[in-house]
Amino acid sequence: MTIQITIIGLGQTGVSVGLALAEHKAQLHRTGHDPDLDRARQAEKLGAVDAVHINLPTAVEKANLVVLALPLDEIRATLEVIGPVLPPGAVVVDLAPVKQSVMAWARQLLPAGRYYVGLAAVRNPHYLDTPETDLDTAHADFFHNSLIAIVTPPGVPDQANRLAMDLISLLGADHLFVDPYELDGLVTGTHILPGILSSALVHTTMGQQGWREARKFADLAYAAVSRPAAHAGSAAELAEMALNAPENTLRHLDNLLSALQNLRLLVASGDSQALEDYFEQARTSRSEWWQERSAGNWKEAEQVRPETPPARPVFGQLLGFGKPKDKKPKK
C-alpha cells in the first residue's frame, strides 16, 4: 500500500519535510501544492515532491495525510477549500507555531471523520544561524535533533496521533504532547515577542530625529535584531499570531515594559556595576540556552514527557520503516 501525503506550502519548511521523506518514496507518494507555480516546480526538481498539483482540491482528494506548511494567516482559507474534498480518515497536520486559532478553524471546517493534529516544530540546531527562508536553505535533516510538540484536540482517534508521531519520527525529531493553551503561552515569548521587539526597534530608531545620519552607522547588531521585521510576508502572520491568544501577548508585553523600566532605572542611577551585572546575567543565560539548544539537552522535557504505550507505528505497520538512524546535526 502506498501512503498518499500532500504537502501544502513549498517554502523552506514544506520542502524540508518532502526531502526528509524522499528516501521512502517507493512507499510514499508525495504530492505538492503551492500557489507559486515556479516555486512548486523548483521543489519538484529538488526531489521534495513526486508530483505537483496546481489545483488545491485535486491535490488533497486522495491524501491520507495533509501537511500544512503555511503561515498562520493562510491556514483558515486553505482549510475552507480542502475540507469538503478530503477523503474519510484523512489526517491534517499543520506546522504553525500557535494552535488555538487553528484548532478552532479545524473544528469548524473539517467534516466528520477527518482529523486535525497540530504540530509545532523547531529546526535542527545546526541551522539556527540560517535566517533565510528560500528553497536553497531547505534540508532533509532540517528537523533532526529537535523537539516537535503535538497538540491533539478532543475526539481525535489514537490512529491519527500515531500517524503524526510517525511523521515526526521520519523527520528525525522527538515528540512531546503539549496542551494547546500552554504551548501558545510558551511560544508567545520565544516566537512572537522577538518579532514584536524587532518591529518596535525599527519604529523607534527610524522615527527619531537624526535617523537620516544614524542609518549610515547601523551595523551587525542592528541588522540582526531588526531582521524579523524584514521577513517577506511576515507582517500578516505576526499580526495573526499576536491576536491568536491576545492575553498571552499582553502579558509578555507587560513583562517587557517592566523589564525596560527597571533597565531605565539602572541607567538613571549611574550604577555601572549594576548595569554590568545586568548585561552579564543576560549574556550568561543566553549562552546556557544556546549550548542546551545546540545539544538538544532538554532535561525539563524529559521530566514531563508522557509515557506512550508500545506499539508498531502506523507507517511501520503499512510500510515497514521507522525513524532515521542518524539524528545528529552536521558538524
- What does the pLDDT profile of the chain (331 residues) look like in tens digits? 789 999 999 999 999 999 999 988 888 999 999 999 999 999 999 999 999 999 999 999 999 999 999 999 999 999 999 999 999 999 999 999 999 999 999 999 999 999 999 999 999 999 988 767 778 899 999 999 899 999 999 999 999 999 999 999 999 999 999 999 999 999 999 999 999 999 999 999 999 889 999 999 999 999 999 988 887 567 888 999 999 999 999 999 999 999 999 999 999 999 999 999 999 999 999 999 998 888 876 655 454 444 443 344 555 554 443 444 444 444 4
Say how far apart CA 124 and CA 106 lie, in whole Å: 28
What the chain holds in terms of domains, given with CATH numbers, is: 3-178+303-319 (3.40.50.720), 182-269 (1.10.3660.10)
pLDDT of residue 299: 53
pLDDT of residue 315: 58
CA 202 vs CA 197, 198, 226, 229, 255: distances in Å: 9, 6, 7, 8, 20
Which uninterrupted H or E stretch holds 258?
helix 246-269
Say how far apart CA 13 and CA 32 lie, in whole Å: 12
Say how far apart CA 108 and CA 20 lie, in whole Å: 31
Percent helix / strand / coil, the chain, rounded to 5: 55, 10, 35
Residues 202-232 have pLDDT tens digits of 999 999 889 999 999 999 999 999 988 887 5
Torsion of CA 210, 215, 220, 226, to 10 degrees: 90
pLDDT of residue 1: 74
Residues 279-314 have pLDDT tens digits of 999 999 999 999 888 887 665 545 444 444 334 455
Say how far apart CA 300 and CA 306 lie, in whole Å: 12
User: Which amino acid would we find at residue 173?
Assistant: A
pLDDT of residue 79: 98
pLDDT of residue 136: 86
pLDDT of residue 129: 80
